Structure 1
């Protein structure tokens, strides 16, 4: 196959166009990414598993705090929150490290404290978390969420 100068120029132009963001969008701020956690925590307060699961991408992975089962689809995520939400959970971030990767990807990782309102008593659970967010269309969705109890707890 022969490559001509014109052919290389066309391929180079297509590569540059294909890699550039058509909207020249600015990456999100740390505050915008932090607000995604608030949205998630507010969704927990609704008590509706579908409301919470709607914040996750259809192909998201959830490694939850109080279950040994990894959830890899919408139905699994709904099932987890169906079991978890009766505890009326709410979380407060103790420490957060936000890493904005580009205009469409960010990671929020750190430590949060859950308050669970179980029938027998109120319980607190300290846990580590990682939320990986991806902007799909106009929505920021959770594509990976890992939460685990602190080993010292």
Structure 2
């Protein structure tokens, strides 16, 4: 067998293995059950608990590497982990505690879901004074491997009118 024949055979084998791996991943996704609404609701609780640690990196760990964050108190779109960590460092200075007021959960499939609605944050400044901020939100979740990650998060202050 010549060198060219061997190289061509190796390339075909590599492509076949790649497609076989993709098929196995798709088959595993197909066997996976749809997530429950409760499972998706718990993802907000996980995020809110991460806020409670006051550790921007812990919060950022809940976002996919390619996630987009449109935060409540910033005009900048946060498209990188570093930008998300930067945002949360400042946001966490106010010791935010979130509480869902109203929500709608849409299960899009076995590996994706949307949680959207209204939430309220209680913020505490450095002097200990508390304030509340009402906002609307959308979290888009994607199951990557065995972890649900935020791939898109939009939050904006609730209009008064």
- TM (normalized to structure 1)? 0.86
Q: The residue matched to 1:47 in structure 2 has which SS?
A: coil
Q: The residue matched to 2:28 in structure 1 has which SS?
A: coil
Deviation string 1:77-100 (CA, Å, 9 cap, x unpaired) is 000001110100010000010000
Query: 1:45 and 2:45 equivalent?
Result: no
Residue of structure 1 equivalent to 2:139: 131
Residue of structure 2 equivalent to 1:25: 32
Residue correspondences, number:
138
1:19 Cα offset (Å): 9.4
Deviant stretches of 4+, over 6 Å: none
Distance 2:34 2:118 in 1: 24
Q: The residue matched to 2:27 in structure 1 has which SS?
A: coil
Distance 1:41 1:149 in 2: 17
- TM (normalized to structure 2)? 0.81
Query: 1:68 and 2:75 equivalent?
Result: yes
Q: The residue matched to 1:21 in structure 2 has which SS?
A: helix
The unaligned stretches of length 5 or more in structure 1 are 1-13
1:22 Cα offset (Å): 2.5
The unaligned stretches of length 5 or more in structure 2 are 1-19
1:118 Cα offset (Å): 1.0
Deviation string 1:60-108 (CA, Å, 9 cap, x unpaired) is 0000011111100100000000111010001000001000000000000
Deviation string 1:14-59 (CA, Å, 9 cap, x unpaired) is 9xx6895335010100000000000000000000000000000000
Query: 1:99 and 2:106 equivalent?
Result: yes
